[in-house]
Amino acid sequence: MKKALLTFVKAPVPGTVKTRLQADMGADRTVEVYKAFIRETLFRCSRLSGIDRFLGCAPSKNHAFLRDMAETYDMPMFNQRGSDLGKKIVNAFKDFLKKGYTDIVLIGSDSPTIPGDYIKQAFAALKKKDFVVGPCCDGGMYLVGARKTIEPGVFKNIPWDTSEVLNLVLGNLFSYNVSFSMLPFWYDVDTIDDMKFLELHLKYLGRKLSL
């Protein structure tokens, strides 16, 4: 049994990342915050053992910051492929299944405080179910995982970056008769209010974002 943890990130280019934050924080400040999200996420992933970790990059892995993060956290890089997030997820799963991985979990960088235990729970869930979902409080997802196969229909006709994502993915899972588990709810950071909560949460945890 080979396990892979894929982390999807974007090149931190002003005006292309965390655009809902940008209106309140400005493009340059938003880029620095997004870099901090990536650092925090990869740091948490680096503490997990028994899995191979990979960095999925968009639009490509040819960005100095992403190369530096991949080297720092010893994560081979790959390019995300597809015209929307659903196709990128499916292509990534297919590629790593072809590489011989049987249990694959994918996360993004919008939930920088994701507990490592949730990722461990995701892999544990794949011992019994074919799919696992990490639901976000805002109707999105912070994690998806699959075992041995991936059903592309699960991610079809999804209006990404909306509050409908979770319900539609769950509906598709039932429609395609895919057995699945759900992890505890967690939060991601898309708006200035989310950012204020993150700062308070990190203060509670005794941590700061590394800007």
Tell me the C-alpha distance between 123 and 145, whole Å: 8
* pLDDT greater than 70 at residue 174: yes
Q: What is the pLDDT of residues 9-52, one digit of tens each?
A: 999 999 999 999 999 999 999 999 999 999 999 999 999 999 99
The answer to whether the CB of 170 falls within 8 A of the CB of 136 is no
Q: What pLDDT is stored for residue 152 in this prediction?
A: 97
**Residue whose C-alpha is closest to residue 123's, from 53, 73, 178:** 53
User: Strand pairing of 103-107 and 3-10?
Assistant: parallel
* pLDDT greater than 90 at residue 210: no
In sequence order, the 6+-apart residues with CB closer than 8 A to the CB of 160 are 84, 85, 86
pTM: 0.96
Q: What's the average model confidence in pLDDT over 192-210? A: 91
**Residue whose C-alpha is closest to residue 184's, from 126, 128, 114:** 114
Domains along the chain?
Answer: 3-205 (3.90.550.10)
Q: Chain centroid to CA 33: how far?
A: 16
At 186, is the pLDDT very low, low, confident or very high (cuts 50, 70, 90)? very high
What six digits make up the tokens of 6?
């894929």
Q: Which residue has the tokens 């720092």?
A: 72
Q: What pLDDT is stored for residue 211 in this prediction?
A: 67
Tell me the C-alpha distance between 37 and 40, whole Å: 5
- For residues 30, 77, 149, 40, the Cα torsion angle rounded to the nearest 10 degrees is -40
Average pLDDT of every residue of the chain: 96
Q: What is the pLDDT of residues 55-99, one digit of tens each?
A: 999 999 999 999 999 999 999 999 999 999 999 999 999 999 999
Strands, DSSP E only, in 119-167?
A: 131-135, 141-147
